[in-house]
DNA sequence: CTCGGTGATGCCGTTATCTATATCACTTGC
DNA sequence: GCAAGTGATATAGATAACGGCATCACCGAG
């Protein structure tokens, strides 16, 4: 790696994969550094392909990120990639269903406690509208918004009732955001690839 | 990698994978060295895990061996391994069928040229017996023997007729060897795992 | 037995990673 | 505004890979 600055901007390097995996876990470089007893500076250099790391270093990073270094025969590569995609889609779907179920429970509980608040009622109805959306329509979006709704509802339910009015505006905003999102997703270009089906490769 | 000599003897390291891939191609360390402009000494050290190579080094070796370095999510690992196994089994089966077809042609041609030679006749019948064996019964064996039969037949067919008696004993041996193999494989422990089926993981 | 090919090992000089530490510019939230 | 967290970058020293070259023991074929 003689050239530190001439990196291909389009290609997806190993560093990019590490970075994406780290971000998918919501970790900072320092978080990952703590879990690997490896300096944050080194992680930065690796993600930016400023260094050509040793295999043991890469393996240590991968292990912390629940990845495994594998040498795949080129002939099996497309099948393997399809397998990884399909596995990921399945686990994403499980995560969505689980989070959505929890949110529905929380929203219904909040609604029962404060039936007169229309921000809560609106949020609940937004969630009800979102639930039947197929994975193909969601296509990876939406998860982040749901997670912020989660912290929102959690705050509403756990803080003392006197604090509740403080949540009104954020909840109103979140409900509107979800309504907009649903509209956008439902009217997305129709013929898109499913991006996830119960098929199997080969 | 502070300890150069304390390597786990059971675990399959990256070096082992490189070595197996190289041997599967029938290459010596110097062959691989020539294709990677990398010293043979370095390859030896990597295969024996005497060094902790840089990622670029590993990638270069992998490229020459038609392997691809991949970071696989642990959750997808078993599915991916199944995919690789199944892909390999399929390509092995193709290779076997193709080689077997060529051998049948060659043996029949040789038999037609010299109908009185019973060594050739015996070899032909051995091949005919082997052909219907299922992949599960063969289970990876047999391929090496067929390849030596290939060079044998090729020699018999291309050298001048005067040289043909010289092949008699090797051909006789090969035919016997194949007969023994067939007997062994056909009487192998019955309930063995198929090792290859048209299934799909997950 | 000799010869060619195999893989393993040693040495050396160059270059690089890596650890440790500190600092930088930038963004986010209070 | 300040403070905290983010990722990128610098420096210095210890360690190690790497290329090049040489050599070694082993082994199967002629």
Q: Which nucleotide is nearest to B52 (CA to C1')?
A: D17
pLDDT number for residue A188: 65
Closest partner residue to B76 (CB to CB) among A56, A58, A83 is A83
Inform me whether the pLDDT recorded for B143 exceeds 90: no
Q: Which ranges in B114-201 belong to alpha helices (H)?
A: 118-130, 135-138, 143-158, 168-186
**What residues of chain B have any CB closer than 8 angstroms to a CB in chain A?**
1, 14, 17-18, 21, 52-56, 58, 62, 66-77, 79-80, 83-84, 86-88, 91, 200-202
Q: Which nucleotides of C are covered by protein (CB under 7 A)?
A: 5-11, 15-22
Per-residue pLDDT reduced to its tens digit, B86-97? 999 898 889 889
A93-105 mean pLDDT: 89
Q: Which of B174 and A51 is assigned the larger pLDDT?
A: A51
Collapsed DSSP state (helix, strand, coil) of residue A117: coil
- Residue A47: closest CA among A63, A33, A37: A33
B48 beta carbon to strand D: under 7 Å: no
- Residue A117: closest CA among A165, A178, A174, A180: A165
Residue nearest to nucleotide D17 (CA to C1'): B53
Inform me whether the pLDDT recorded for A153 exceeds 50: yes
Best of A42, A87, A90, A201 to substitute, by most chain B Cβ atoms within 10 angstroms, is: A87
pLDDT number for residue B83: 96
- Residue B59: closest CA among A79, A25, A23, A11: A11
Gap between the Cα atoms of A100 and B161, Å rounded: 80
Q: Where are the domains of chain B?
A: 14-64, 76-186
Inform me whether the pLDDT recorded for A192 exceeds 70: no
Tokens at A58, concatenated: 């890469």
Produce one character per residue of B181-194: b if its CB has 16 or more CB atoms within 10 Å, e if not. bbeebeeeeeeeee
pLDDT number for residue A156: 80
B37-62 mean pLDDT: 96
Q: How many CA atoms lie within 13 A of B88 on its CB side?
A: 14
Q: How far is the CA of A47 from the C1' of C22 (A)?
A: 21
The reply to whether residue B68 touches residue A72, judged by beta carbons under 8 angstroms, is yes
List CB contacts of A62: < 8 A, sequence separation 6 or more.
A18, A68, A69, B71
Average pLDDT over chain A, rounded to whole?
A: 83
How far is A25 from chain B, CA to nearest CA, in Å?
12
Collapsed DSSP state (helix, strand, coil) of residue A201: coil
B32-47 mean pLDDT: 95
Inform me whether the pLDDT recorded for A4 exceeds 80: no
Determine the CATH number of domain A14-64: 1.10.260.40
A110-118 mean pLDDT: 87
pLDDT number for residue A82: 96
Gap between the Cα atoms of A11 and A6, Å rounded: 12
Among A33-42, A174-183, B12-21, name the one with the lowest average pLDDT. Answer: A174-183
The reply to whether residue A73 touches residue B88, judged by beta carbons under 8 angstroms, is yes
How far is B175 from chain A, CA to nearest CA, in Å?
34
Collapsed DSSP state (helix, strand, coil) of residue A71: strand
Residue percentage of chain B with pLDDT more than 70: 87
Tokens at A200, concatenated: 């199997």
pLDDT number for residue B201: 38
B44-60 mean pLDDT: 96
Residues of B with Cβ-Cβ distance to A80 under 8 angstroms: 70, 72, 80, 83-84
How far is B80 from chain A, CA to nearest CA, in Å?
6
pLDDT number for residue A10: 54
How far is A160 from chain B, CA to nearest CA, in Å?
40
pLDDT number for residue B188: 66
The reply to whether residue B55 touches residue A56, judged by beta carbons under 8 angstroms, is no
Inform me whether the pLDDT recorded for B10 exceeds 70: no
Average pLDDT over chain B, rounded to whole?
A: 84
The reply to whether residue A76 touches residue B54, judged by beta carbons under 8 angstroms, is no
The reply to whether residue B72 touches residue A67, judged by beta carbons under 8 angstroms, is yes
pLDDT number for residue A190: 53
- The highest-confidence range among A106-110, A149-153, B139-143, by mean pLDDT, is A106-110
B2 beta carbon to strand D: under 7 Å: yes
């Amino acid at each position: 790696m003689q050239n530190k600055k001439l990196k291909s901007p389009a290609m997806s390097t190993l560093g990019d994969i590490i970075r994406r995996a780290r971000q998918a876990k919501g970790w900072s470089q320092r978080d990952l550094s703590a879990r690997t007893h490896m300096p944050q500076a080194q992680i930065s250099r690796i993600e930016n392909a400023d260094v050509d790391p040793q295999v043991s270093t890469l393996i240590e990073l991968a292990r912390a990120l629940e990845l495994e270094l594998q040498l795949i025969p080129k002939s099996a590569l497309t099948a393997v990639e399809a397998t990884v995609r399909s596995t990921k889609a399945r686990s994403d779907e499980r995560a969505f269903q689980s989070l959505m179920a929890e949110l529905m429970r929380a929203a219904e509980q909040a609604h029962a406690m404060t039936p007169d608040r229309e921000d809560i009622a609106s949020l609940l109805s937004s969630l009800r509208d979102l639930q039947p959306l197929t994975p193909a329509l969601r296509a990876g979006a939406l998860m982040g918004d749901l997670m912020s709704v989660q912290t929102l509802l959690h705050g509403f339910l756990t803080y003392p009732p006197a604090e509740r009015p403080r949540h009104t505006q954020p909840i109103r905003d979140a409900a509107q955001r979800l309504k907009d999102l649903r509209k956008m997703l439902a009217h997305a270009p129709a013929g898109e690839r499913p991006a996830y089906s119960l098929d199997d490769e080969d």
